Amino acid sequence: MRSLIFLSLILILGSSPRTFAQTGFFCGYNPVNEKDPFKENLCQFFGALPDQEATKVVEAILGKIGVKNSIKIVPCLKIKNCYAWFYNDPKHPGQYILYDPVFLEKIKNTAAADWGAKCVLAHEVAHILFGHTFESQGSNPDFELAADKWSGYALYKLGAPEKSILDGVINYAEDKPSLTHPPRSERQKAVIQGYQEAQQEYRATTSQLSANIMEQARKKYESAITTPDLHARVVKLSEAITLNPKYSAAYYARADAYNNMDSTDAALREVNKAIEFNVNDANYYYLKSGILKNKGQSPAAIRSIETAISLNPGLMQYRIMHALLRINNKEYDQCIKICNEVLQSDKGNEDGYFYRGQSYLALSKFPVAIEDFSKAISFRPNHFLYYRSRGRCYSETGNYTAALADYKKSLLLNPSDAETKKLIESVNKKLSDELTKTRGYVNDVTLDPNVTRNNLYGMEITTDFNVQNMKGINGKAVAYFYFEDGTPLVTSIDRYRTAAGELSSSTDFRPGYHPADFKALKIFLPYNILILPQGSIRLKYQVCIFSYKNNVPVELCRSEFKRFTLNVQYE
């Protein structure tokens, strides 16, 4: 339709003056007030200045079809109408629109946003475009309907809302038909038809343009995601987004690139845009959870990954991320629960074993942690973190030799890992300390209740123990005595009491070599120092071994408690 209108305008506006009656064709928008302004001398317009506001409207109407305005817009008082007119005078030839300012002002006052006035002017422009002004017979209903239809077309081009396009017709067209004008109902239909045709034309055009732009954006996106350089990738993705500002996949890819560039603020901004344009893609929430994790925002990251899981419950990758985030938030029991669910569905999921092992390690449950790390290693024997984590468990349990072996394997798989290097230094020091550390172990203790020593009657405890790295260092084996309920026995004899007044007896020793085994070190306790009630008394004792390097007592080991019954009788 646009090309036909443009052609008509060139033929009409660009034609040379033709011989028509001076007053020729004139068409009033409202037939009731239709008067020949020249026969009645109503319009002395040659000296009048064109109306700037009306001229701008006509220029806008013609501009929408790509044509420069040559129509003269002239006010004409008291005509109570608006006319399209061709004036064939040698001095003032051309196409005119004559309007009564009072008439247009009335239209403006009754129509929202002046769309009624613009409708009237568009109607008169249409008469000129269609060549109606060259007809000496005046207007007719067909001309009027054609002009009405085109005015609806023009109103759409000008951006009129559909609810306002009938303002001019409703407020000033006559309800009944005349010889020159159709009834208001037909004129309304014509305006609506023109508006809808322009709307359909626009949609068809923009749909094709949109499809072309979308295809260009898609090609930019596909080129970007295969670009290794992250900065170049971001540039290409930005070009795709410029073409399609709602391209959620491009925002997602740009967020991923920024995240890999450690630009977490930019990454979070981009992934939020991706979610804004597509709230149902679980991958977007998964990426967002990773970005928030990198920013140290574990609670927010947990909420995001839970959304991803709700959108795609079956993807184990999301559940593993959930487990990791629970570890980061120190929710170890929650992590173990999640990993149990993962492993119930996928018994070969190495990450499930690894993260569960990490939680057990944090809870100091080292044996089960070692089992999980070993299971993870069986599925993936070349992952340095698995060995490093198991090594930590071995170290915590005192198995430094096994810990060192795992740390060395971890470093072999990842030679640049500074943390593993520090762990190796630490465990080597512990192993060195173990070689020189003074330590001992009690193998057994026995009690003989009927022993006489130095004319004193009492009990004797035989202690079987060994010590290491105590050559030339003084030591002491001390026996402590308790009632069966754990209450210490007491005495006032300094030789047999601790600083707290508790009953004890001891024997000194000094190894001449190491390791040194003492199979039968004797500890004697005379009965005459005991303060006990008469009768059968249930008691227990325990032996502790101390070293006295630099005269500082250090407990090396202790025996288990041994119980015995003592029959106390007084004469």
More confident residue, 74 or 104: 74
The confidence score (pLDDT) of residue 495 equals: 92
Residue type, 144: E
Measured in degrees and rounded to the nearest 5, phi and psi for residue 164 equal -105, -5
Mean pLDDT for the stretch of residues 70-93? 79
Q: What percent of the chain has pLDDT over 90?
A: 59
Q: Residue 174: pLDDT band by 50, 70, 90 thresholds?
A: confident
CB 548 within 8 A of CB 476: yes
Question: Quick one: which H or E segment has residue 543?
Answer: strand 535-547
Q: Which two tokens stand for residue 61?
A: 């109407």
Return the top range by mean pLDDT from 26-40, 61-75, 276-290, 547-561.
276-290
Q: Residue 209: pLDDT band by 50, 70, 90 thresholds?
A: low
Pairing of strands 82-87, 26-28: antiparallel
For residue range 374-426, list pLDDT tens digits in order: 999 999 999 999 999 999 999 998 899 999 999 999 999 999 999 999 999 99
HSE, side-chain direction, 13 A CA sphere, residue 440 = 29
CB 427 within 8 A of CB 403: yes
Give the separation between CA 95 and CA 152, rounded to whole angstroms.
22
CB-count burial class (<10 Å; 0-12, 13-18, 19+) for 383: middle
Q: Residue 30: pLDDT band by 50, 70, 90 thresholds?
A: low
Give the separation between CA 548 and CA 510, rounded to whole angstroms.
10
Would you call 96 helix, strand, or coil by DSSP?
A: strand
For residue range 247-273, list pLDDT tens digits in order: 999 999 999 999 999 999 999 999 999
CA-based R_g, the chain, Å: 51
The residue behind tokens 């999301």 is: 318
Measured in degrees and rounded to the nearest 5, phi and psi for residue 475 equal -140, 170
Give the separation between CA 143 and CA 126, rounded to whole angstroms.
9
Would you call 66 helix, strand, or coil by DSSP?
A: coil
pLDDT at 354 over 60: yes
Give the separation between CA 301 and CA 297, rounded to whole angstroms.
6
Tell which CATH architecture fits domain 439-568.
Sandwich (2.60)
For residue range 425-445, list pLDDT tens digits in order: 999 998 887 777 888 999 999
Give the separation between CA 479 and CA 542, rounded to whole angstroms.
6
Give the separation between CA 27 and CA 34, rounded to whole angstroms.
8
Residue ranges with strand state E in 239-300 = none
More confident residue, 240 or 1: 240
The confidence score (pLDDT) of residue 37 equals: 54
Supply the DSSP string of 25-89, one letter for each residue. -EEESSGGG---TTTTT----TTSPPPHHHHHHHHHHHHTTT-----EEEE-TT--SEEEEEE--
Q: What percent of the chain has pLDDT over 70?
A: 88
Furthest-apart CA pair in the chain: how many Å? 162
| Range scoring the smallest mean pLDDT among 16-20, 248-252, 288-292, 503-507 | 16-20
pLDDT at 479 over 80: yes
pLDDT at 365 over 70: yes
CB 34 within 8 A of CB 28: yes
The confidence score (pLDDT) of residue 465 equals: 96
The confidence score (pLDDT) of residue 64 equals: 82
Q: Which class in CATH covers the domain with range 228-435? A: mainly alpha
Residues in the chain: 571
Q: Residue 26: pLDDT band by 50, 70, 90 thresholds?
A: low
The confidence score (pLDDT) of residue 541 equals: 97
Domain chopping of the chain, boundaries: 2-202, 228-435, 439-568
| Range scoring the smallest mean pLDDT among 61-70, 181-190, 191-200, 327-336 | 61-70
The confidence score (pLDDT) of residue 46 equals: 57
- Please state the pTM of the whole predicted model: 0.50
CB 489 within 8 A of CB 503: yes
